[in-house]
Structure 1
Amino acid sequence: MRLRIPEPVSAGIILSYRCSGECRHCMYACSPGWREGRLPEGRLGRMLEGLRGRLVGAPGGGIGINYGLHLTGGEPFLNFGLLLRAVRRAAGMGLPSTFVETNSFWCTDEETTRERLLQLREAGLRGLLVSVNPFVVEHVPFERVERAVRVGSEVFGENVLVYQPFFYHLFRRLGLRGTLSFERYLELFGSRSLLHAELLPMGRAVYRLEGVLGELYGRRRAEDFFGESCLRELTRPWHVHLDCLGNYVAGYCGASPWGRRRTWRGSSPGWTWRRGPSWEPW
């Protein structure tokens, strides 16, 4: 049986699995320990060419999580040169609603933040997504997150997404400065507040957040899912990913967690297709 995958309407390119931090909930188990695994220029070009003419832009020429193209990781700003080249090539091919995701670790001062965002805007980037949640602020001082949002709004106007805004406003009301341990977060706000985090039971979360996930969603046996199907999730055409190793990563299925990083042996985790039966992006 061949699994037919529809053409994507929105997609992300994972430039690298290397990250500045090691978030407990990360579905890809990214960390500073990943070897670079940099995306080759030729593969990047083939990916972008394969997406040309297929992606749907956000209404009004803006950006949206499930529209157009996003550049992600890992942490894309760890290799700013690669990020800048990817933006230029995407813009040159006319790919719509291109934005980059970041945890803001690099926003150490106003000048650096503004300079890099202006470079990206001039290269053709349309906007910015800033990640903020209890796991990011364990290793990224919250003032850097605020700086990314503030300066990003000056550079991109309304094309700045905060993901998730619940935690951004929560930490602002708290007057948070510096970082906050997850244990202290739970003392202050309790585990029920994590329902705003859209936690997916896969990747590192199933090992580092086992107790929290069980408390929030209950515990089920594997046999309970034997009659279920992940077909719809695994063949969805929106917010799919193409990774730096050449894999096509479709939707997410919580019943098939990706396991520990050491078991992957250099390959991308998850359900992947190098050449989809319905279309060939590279």
Structure 2
Amino acid sequence: MRKIILSLFTVFSLNFLLAQEENTTENIGDNFSLEGALAMFKSANTLEEFEKAINEENNSINNLDLNDDGSIDYIMVDDIKEGDTHVLVLSTYLNEKEKQDIATIGIEKTGNESAQLQIIGDEDLYGKDVFVEPVDLVEAVKEGKGPSIPEFETKPMLVNVWLWPCVRFIYAPTYIVWRSPYRWGYYPRGWKPWKPIKVIVFKTRCATHRTFYHRTPNHRIVLARKIYTPRRNHGTIVVKNRRGTTVVHKNRRGKTTVIKTRTRGRR
């Protein structure tokens, strides 16, 4: 009887740990789809539409609860413009005073009718140097030696985003730099936060976006980072991952203070 009880307890414990593993992640940024954000940006006509789209529950872009209050955080969009470079900052308020950046979309005009962009996840949430960009997949002849039947391979090709409606919008002569009108406790009429879902379910829902938007080790929008870096927002973040739960605070000088750490399996 004791062996049966012990076996049942072991099975229950393993199932519990597996369930916990499914709902944890190496980086808390896995709860916000960078690829999905670019998909919403491509289809939006204005930055106001873009902000609305990434905060729409049915679009499965946002599953963040950085202040750990049990409700999804509202993501705001603000534009920083210098010359022909735009930096769209996606951020959220953790409380009345603290603001945390989620990601930035750097856009640079490269010609009269050409522009390129990348979205970069904030290193507090995603780790260092996480870049995502739109790509087209094209077939090219695979190089070989000697005469033979040509073989084809699929290669990614960078996308000229000039014809995206929102890109044309921000480069229009009449464009007024966009600043989100919302803040802590003041949100769009009709918007209601929802409860976060399991990470594995969220990642499945937004997986389709990864077909047209790929992660890359190459940082192409260099000027955008120089413009943005001195204006980056840091806050108190509740980090939940496979290593445990940590509350981290960073001040504007970059100093990091660990306020509380709880290792998994301990109380």
Give the TM interval when normalised to the shorter protein.
under 0.3
Higher fraction of helix: 1
Bigger radius of gyration among the two: 2
TM-score with structure 1 length normalisation? 0.24
Higher fraction of strand: 2
TM-score with structure 2 length normalisation? 0.24
